[in-house]
Structure 1
Amino acid sequence: MRPTPADPEAWNAYLSEGNATQARKRVAADVLIRDTSGRILLVNPTYKPGWDLPGGMAEANEPPQAAAQRELKEELGLTITLRSLLVVDWVPPHRPWDDQIAFIFDAGTLDDDTATALRPHDHELSELRFVTPGEASTMLRARLGHRFQAAVQALMDGATAYLHDGQPALPQRRVT
């Protein structure tokens, strides 16, 4: 017989068992940061090949927006305020990885002094660059490149994009 909320101890044990068997998702939280010329900030991680958007993986029980803010503070010394959510992308299992949910947030535009002074703050990044959106599209791996293009479009449209593996999963509509 299944416990009920009338027996809180048994009910919480039942819920804990269910929680332990639920699927877990990896969560990536990246940001789109621009300079006053409209160029996009890319970073070059030391732990994987290719260029990336600033951000990283969420820790256990960490909200995606907090993960993005933490990663920027750790890796670039930047304290940012997120402006909006641009992209949510469900990424299917690939190679050794289970599926994940990837977010891209808009972090706005850095003033010239901040952008010029920006440097990697830890060993996870070897360099950073501000590049045009077109350059960014060619520098990013295909999966991230599709997500990036959707983020740029979402920024222009004022609507969050929902993707499955970098491709639109729902019709894009502006919410008013």
Structure 2
Amino acid sequence: MVEDTTPAELSKFRYKILTRLAHAVYPFIQGMTMGVRAACFDEQGRIFLVKHSYVPGWHMPGGGVARGETVREALAKELREEGNLEAVVPPQMLHVYYNKRTSKRDHVVFYRCVVRQTAPRPKDWEIVDSGFFALDALPADVTSATRRRLRELAGEAAFDDLW
């Protein structure tokens, strides 16, 4: 094994230069990411939730905003893809959250929607289960973020800035 004979000061200097270079380049190769998520209620007041194959728990439908796509277009796409849902009235944007659990550059635009389901959502490799639930009969493993959003919607908690 070859021993590193570089003086510690030079290593620190290299690290400092590389770090500054990375911070200058990073915004061009990995810009801010943005997603959408929605509390989707049917006309009976039940909320639509999905269970993904790749993360635990029940979530409100949503996903990433693609390059060249508006947040409303992304929302309509995600509702269609994850639940065969379409908005009955224009979605109401409620809040923008910083999602530092995903990355230091991720934000989530949160909507409230009244929806109708055009057809039952079949299970597949991404969505292993989905459905409408009464607010007093949610599945036991609803995510903590979903529960926080529901408390905010009910006026039981102030809107937080963190997802």
Identify the structure with the greater helix proportion.
Answer: 1
Q: CA deviation at 1:41?
A: 0.7
Residue of structure 1 equivalent to 2:97: 89
Given that 2:46 and 2:134 are in contact with CA atoms closer than 8 Å, whether structure 1 keeps it comes out as: yes
2:82 aligned with 1:75, yes or no? yes
Gaps of 5+ in 2: 1-23
How has the CA–CA distance of structure 1 residues 137 and 143 changed in structure 2, closer, same or farther, with 3 Å as cutoff?
farther
Aligned pairs for 1:1-176 within 5 A: 21=28, 24-80=31-87, 82-92=90-100, 94=101, 97-110=103-116, 114=117, 117-120=119-122, 122-136=124-138, 139-153=141-155, 163-166=160-163
Structure 2 distance, partners of 1:137, 1:25, is 33
Gaps of 5+ in 1: 1-16, 155-160, 167-176
How has the CA–CA distance of structure 1 residues 119 and 82 changed in structure 2, closer, same or farther, with 3 Å as cutoff?
same
Name the count of aligned residue pairs.
Answer: 138
Which structure is larger by alpha-carbon Rg, 1 or 2? 2
Structure 2 distance, partners of 1:99, 1:143, is 18
How has the CA–CA distance of structure 1 residues 162 and 26 changed in structure 2, closer, same or farther, with 3 Å as cutoff?
farther
TM-score, structure 2 normalization? 0.66
Letter in 1 for 2:32: K
Q: CA deviation at 1:72?
A: 1.7
How has the CA–CA distance of structure 1 residues 66 and 24 changed in structure 2, closer, same or farther, with 3 Å as cutoff?
same
Structure 2 distance, partners of 1:84, 1:39, is 17
Q: Write out per-residue CA displacement over residues 125-170 of structure 1, whole angstroms, 9 at most, x where no aligned residue.
A: 111121222444954322332133223439xxxxxx753214xxxx
After superposition, the CA RMSD in angstroms is 3.3
How has the CA–CA distance of structure 1 residues 109 and 61 changed in structure 2, closer, same or farther, with 3 Å as cutoff?
closer
Letter in 2 for 1:143: A
TM-score, structure 1 normalization? 0.62
SS of match in other structure, 1:126: strand
Residue of structure 2 equivalent to 1:172: none
Given that 1:28 and 1:103 are in contact with CA atoms closer than 8 Å, whether structure 2 keeps it comes out as: yes
